[in-house]
């Protein structure tokens, strides 16, 4: 299943891309489940991000590996792929893409996930969409509205 969210912001794509750091990661964390950040290496290939999802009842580990990164004259991206995932996820691929857009840029969250069950993937879709849609106002607050 894939989700592709786009947010237009007023800053240059390279400024936006270079701001994807631990501070922004913390700002983008959803209100629930609560995230405990255990490790944040950065966004270069080989870097690792480890979090604990704290539901109030049980905690789940989530470890992602940065597998790809590219910067061109018009866009920049990095990819994180899930290595240790909370149930029911079996696959996680998140491309963080920032492209030129007029005087500003567009932030793309391109998420591919899989549980191994198409019905469960469909059931999770509105929840995933809601969780990642919460990033839009944060992006606009940090990088400026268009």
Task: Give per-residue pLDDT as tens, 107-146.
Answer: 999 999 999 999 999 999 999 999 999 999 999 999 999 8
> How far apart are alpha carbons 73 and 125 in whole angstroms?
33
Task: Give per-residue pLDDT as tens, 8-29.
Answer: 999 999 999 999 999 999 999 9
For residues 9 and 138, the answer to whether their CB atoms sit within 8 Å is no
Reference 78, options 43, 26, 113; nearest CA is 43
Our count of domains for the chain comes to 1
What integer pLDDT is reported at residue 4 of this predicted model? Answer: 98
Domain carrying residue 125: 2-143
Once rounded to an integer, what is the mean pLDDT over residues 94-117?
97
What integer pLDDT is reported at residue 132 of this predicted model? Answer: 96
**Which tokens go with 34?**
């609560």
% residues pLDDT > 90 (the chain) = 99
What integer pLDDT is reported at residue 20 of this predicted model? Answer: 98
Q: What CATH number has the domain bearing residue 112?
A: 3.30.530.20
Once rounded to an integer, what is the mean pLDDT over residues 87-110?
97
Residues 6+ apart with CB under 8 A from 89: 82, 113, 114, 115
Whole-model pTM: value is 0.96
Q: pLDDT-derived band of residue 56, with 50, 70 and 90 as boundaries?
A: very high
**What is the DSSP code string of the chain?**
-EEEEEEEESS-HHHHHHT-SHHHHHHH--SSSEEEEEEE--SSTT-EEEEEEE-SS-EEEEEEEEEEEEE-SSEEEEEEEEEE--TT-SEEEEEEEEEEETTEEEEEEEEEEE-S-HHHHHHHHHHHHHHHHTHHHHHHHHH---
Once rounded to an integer, what is the mean pLDDT over residues 94-118?
97
Q: Return mean pLDDT, the chain.
A: 97
What integer pLDDT is reported at residue 52 of this predicted model? Answer: 97
């Amino acid at each position: 299943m894939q989700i592709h969210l786009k947010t237009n912001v007023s800053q240059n794509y390279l400024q936006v891309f270079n701001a994807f750091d631990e501070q922004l990661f913390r700002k983008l964390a959803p209100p629930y489940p609560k995230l405990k950040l255990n490790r944040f290496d950065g966004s270069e290939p080989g870097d690792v991000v480890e979090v604990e999802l704290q539901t109030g009842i049980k905690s789940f580990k989530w470890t992602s590996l940065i597998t790809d990164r590219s910067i061109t004259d018009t866009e920049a991206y990095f990819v994180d792929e899930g290595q240790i995932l909370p149930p029911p996820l079996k696959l996680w691929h998140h491309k963080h893409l920032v492209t030129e857009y007029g005087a500003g840029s567009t932030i793309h969250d391109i998420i591919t996930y899989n549980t191994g069950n198409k019905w469960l993937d469909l059931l999770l879709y509105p929840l995933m969409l809601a969780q990642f849609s919460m990033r839009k106002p944060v992006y606009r607050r940090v990088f400026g509205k268009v």
